[in-house]
Structure 1
C-alpha cells in the first residue's frame, strides 16, 4: 500500500490550500461579506468563483469536456479537505452540497440532451440545484420505501402530487431532481420509485416555507415543498421508470463520502483555531499549550481526524474501483460526523468564552456539525448497514481488496 499522493494530486492539494489562504480566508474574516443566514453573500462569492475558474480549481467532480476538472473520488478527497479549511471554500470551487452530488449524478446518468439542459448550467455556475426526496411523516426519510409523493403518467407527461421537506438549497435552486413513487403496489420494494427533472418556473408546485434550523445554512436554506399537479414531460425522466432507488443509491454513496471529505477540513480548521489560541493564552503561570490535560485533548482529536481520513480515503478508493463501497462509506460517515462534532466541541472548550462567541468560527462549526449525524442517513441507520453487512459477510467484512 502506498499512501503517498501522486505529484499531480499533491500539486492540486497545494494549489487549493494556497487559493484558500490567499483569497477565501480574507473574505471569510470580513463579516460584512456574510449574508443573513451566515453564508457568503452572493456578490462576494461571484468574484471568488470567477478566480477559481481562471485558476483551474472549478467543479472538480464534473467531466473535463464540460468544463470541470474530472477528478477521481480519491483526488476529490484531497481537494475537498483543503477546500473546507474555510467555511466558504466548497461553494467557491462549486463542490458544495447539494450541487456537488447533483452534478456528479447528472454527469454519470443523464442523457446527452439532459446534460445540455440540466447539467451544463450547474457546471457553468449559472444555476443552482436541489435533490428532492425527504418527506414529512408518514412519508419517506432514511427509508425510501415509505415515499408517498406520486407521479401519475398521462401519455407523455407525468403529474406530480405530494409534499417534501428539508430540501437543501431549494430556495435558491433553478434545477431540481425529484424522487417520486411510480409503482403504487405496496408490495414493491425495489422498483417503486422514479427520478425526474424540473425547473423552478414550472407551474404546479410551490415552496410553502423555509424551515428555520439550528445551524448556519446553505444558500437556499432547507425548504418544504408542495406539489399539486406539476407536469413533467417524459423526456425529463432521469434513467428508466423504476430506477429511482438505484439512482438515489448511486448519488448518495458518493455524496455521503464527499460530506466526510469536507467535514474533515472543518474539523482540522477547528483544531487550528484551538491551537492558535492555546499557543499564546496563559493561566496560572503556564501556557495552555503546555498543560498535559490540554495536550491530551488535542492529541485525541488529531487521532480521530486521522482515522477519519483513512476511512474516507479507503471508501474513495473503493468507489474508484467501481465498488458501491456501501459499508466503507457508512463507516466513514459515522466516524467523521462524530469527529467533526468532537473537534468543534474541544475547540470551544479550549478557547473558552472566545470560542463560544462569534469572535471565532468554532461556534459556527459547532452548530453546523450537529447536522452531520443526521444528513444523508442518521448514524443509527448506517450502524444498521454495518450490522447487516457483518451478519452476511462474517470475517469477509474485513477484506482488504476491492
Structure 2
C-alpha cells in the first residue's frame, strides 16, 4: 500500500482482521474485477455468491461482526472496512457493503430476538441480502433528502398493517430476501421488516445509474396493498425516524470507509502509472503538473482518513454523531472526488478506460457525493446548527 494508514490506535484484533481482509481482497477478489459476470446494474448474483463463498473459506465473511455476535468498535470497523474497499468488489465479497451493512447494524441495535434470529442471522452469514425502502420519486412529491415528505402510507387492518406507495433508488431490491420498508401512519414514520419477494412489491424497473458496484442495482418500486404482520413492525408506530437515525450516522461513516479504500487503490494505480510512463524524456511523476497532483492526493487521503477516525471515536462514545457524521460525509466524499479526478487526469487516456478500476472509482465516488445525503443538504443542516448555537450563545 503506497498510502500509509495510521494504525497507532488500532487494537491487535482489528489489525489482525484487517490484514487478513486486505490479503484476501488483493489476492482473491482483485482478479474478479475482469470477470464478465458484471453488468450495468452491478455484479450478478452468481458472481456475488462465488466471491462470498471464497470469503467464507478465507475466514473474512462479515469480519466486523465476531463469532459471538459482538460488533467491532466503530474505530476498529474503520480499520477493517477501509481494506475491504481496496476493490469495488471487496465489500460485496466480505458482506460489508451497502445497504446490508447498515441494515445489519440497525437490526442488531433495534430488532427483537425473534427478528435477529429470522433476519439478522442469515444476513451475517451472507445467505440473505436486504434493501432499505425509504427514498420516493421526486415527480410525486415523495421523500428524498427531506424524509418528512414521505408519501408511502401504512394503516392497521386487523393484526396486519397495509402499506401503499412508491419508492425509488432502492439499492439491492432485485434479489433481496429482506426489505426494511418505511411508511407513515397516523402516529408518524414506521419501519417494517418484509419478506421478499412479495407479489405486492413490484419492481417497475432497475435504473441505469452512474455506479455499478452493488448487486441488484437501484430500483423503482411499486407497493400495492402490502400486508405485513403487526409483529414485523420494527419498534413502535411513529418511531421510524428515530430508528433511522440509529442507522444513518454509522452507515454514512462506513460508506466513507469503503470508498476511502477504493480511492487509496486508485491512487496506487495512478502513482504506479506516473512512475513507469515516460514523456518528454522523464517519468510523468517528475513533471510538476503530475507529481503535484499525486502529492495533493496524499494530503486529501490523509485528511479523509483522520475525519473517519474522528467520527468513529465520537460514535464509540455512544453518541448519535449526527453532526460529526454530516461533517465527515461532506469532507470525505468531496476529498475522494478530488483524488479520483486527479487519478484519471494523471493517467490521461488510460484513466478513462475500463483497463483499470480508476474510472469506476471516479464514477462510484461521484455517486457517493449524493447517496446518504447530498453535500449541500449536510451543509444546510450544519448551517442550521451554527444558527442554533449562535442564538443559544445570545441567550446565555
| TM-score, normalized by the shorter chain, greater than 0.5 | yes
Please give the secondary structure, in 1, of the residue aligned with 2:123: helix
Per the TM alignment, residue 257 of structure 1 is displaced from its structure 2 partner at its CA by: 0.5
Is the 2:176–2:197 Cα contact (8 Å) retained in structure 1? no
Is the 1:166–1:211 Cα contact (8 Å) retained in structure 2? yes
Is the 2:142–2:151 Cα contact (8 Å) retained in structure 1? yes
User: Which range is displaced more, 339-348 or 316-325?
Assistant: 339-348
User: Which range is displaced more, 202-211 or 302-311?
Assistant: 202-211
Distance in structure 2 (CA, Å) of the matches to 1:207 and 1:55: 35
1:22 match: 27
Pairing 1:160–2:169 present? no
Please give the secondary structure, in 2, of the residue aligned with 1:336: helix
Structure 1 residues 159 and 41: alpha-carbon distance in aligned structure 2, compared to 1, 3 A threshold:
closer
Distance in structure 2 (CA, Å) of the matches to 1:13 and 1:326: 27
2:215 match: 219
Over residues 35-65 of structure 1, what are the superposed CA-to-partner deviations in whole Å (9 max), with x where a residue is unaligned?
2237444434434322322433221344633
Over residues 295-344 of structure 1, what are the superposed CA-to-partner deviations in whole Å (9 max), with x where a residue is unaligned?
21111121111111111111111111101111111111011111222111
Pairing 1:287–2:290 present? no
Over residues 176-226 of structure 1, what are the superposed CA-to-partner deviations in whole Å (9 max), with x where a residue is unaligned?
00000012xxxxxxx510100111233322111111112224111111111
Please give the secondary structure, in 2, of the residue aligned with 1:208: strand
Pairing 1:64–2:67 present? yes
Is the 2:44–2:215 Cα contact (8 Å) retained in structure 1? no
Distance in structure 1 (CA, Å) of the matches to 2:210 and 2:117: 37
1:10 match: 15
Is the 1:94–1:100 Cα contact (8 Å) retained in structure 2? yes
Is the 1:169–1:219 Cα contact (8 Å) retained in structure 2? yes
Per the TM alignment, residue 243 of structure 1 is displaced from its structure 2 partner at its CA by: 0.9
1:400 match: none
Structure 1 residues 47 and 227: alpha-carbon distance in aligned structure 2, compared to 1, 3 A threshold:
closer
Structure 1 residues 64 and 242: alpha-carbon distance in aligned structure 2, compared to 1, 3 A threshold:
farther
Q: In the TM superposition, what are the counterparts of 1:290-309 in structure 2 within 5 Å?
A: 290-309=286-305
Out of 46, 59, 65, the position equivalent to 1:43 is 46
Kindly report the root-mean-square deviation, in angstroms, between the aligned alpha carbons of the 2 structures: 2.0
Over residues 79-136 of structure 1, what are the superposed CA-to-partner deviations in whole Å (9 max), with x where a residue is unaligned?
1111111111011110000111111101111101111112122112221100000011
Over residues 254-281 of structure 1, what are the superposed CA-to-partner deviations in whole Å (9 max), with x where a residue is unaligned?
1011000011111111111101100111
Please give the secondary structure, in 1, of the residue aligned with 2:276: coil
Gap regions ≥5 residues in structure 1: 184-190, 398-402
1:129 match: 130
Q: Which has the higher contact order (CA 8 A, sep 6+)?
A: 2
Please give the secondary structure, in 1, of the residue aligned with 2:156: strand
Pairing 1:387–2:383 present? yes
Structure 1 residues 116 and 7: alpha-carbon distance in aligned structure 2, compared to 1, 3 A threshold:
closer
Is the 1:266–1:340 Cα contact (8 Å) retained in structure 2? no
Gap regions ≥5 residues in structure 2: 1-6
Is the 1:170–1:222 Cα contact (8 Å) retained in structure 2? yes
Is the 2:44–2:216 Cα contact (8 Å) retained in structure 1? no
TM-score, normalised relative to structure 2: 0.92
Out of 306, 312, 319, the position equivalent to 2:315 is 319
Distance in structure 1 (CA, Å) of the matches to 2:327 and 2:227: 40
Pairing 1:203–2:213 present? no
User: Which range is displaced more, 18-27 or 137-146?
Assistant: 18-27
Please give the secondary structure, in 1, of the residue aligned with 2:320: coil
Distance in structure 1 (CA, Å) of the matches to 2:65 and 2:232: 20
Distance in structure 2 (CA, Å) of the matches to 1:299 and 1:204: 53
Per the TM alignment, residue 395 of structure 1 is displaced from its structure 2 partner at its CA by: 12
Pairing 1:172–2:168 present? no
1:148 match: 151
